[in-house]
Structure 1
Amino acid sequence: MPQKPQKNTQTAHYIELGGYQYWPVLVPRGIRLYTYEQIPVFLRENPYITDGYRAYLPSRLCIKSLFILSNETVNIWSHLLGFLLFFCLGVYNMASVLPAFGASREDYVIYSIGLFCFQ
Structure 2
Amino acid sequence: MPTQYRIVSTNPVPDRPKRVIAEIIEKFKDRYDLSHVGNIEGIDDVRATVERERPNLLFIASSWTPEQAEEIARIAKEVNPNIKTFNPPRGLQADKGTNAVAEYIEENLPALLDSIS
The TM-score normalised by the length of structure 1 is: 0.22
Select the structure that is richer in helix: 2
Relative to the length of structure 2, the TM-score reads: 0.22
Bigger RCO of structures 1 and 2 (CA < 8 A, at least 6 apart): 2
- Point out the structure with max Rg over C-alpha: 1
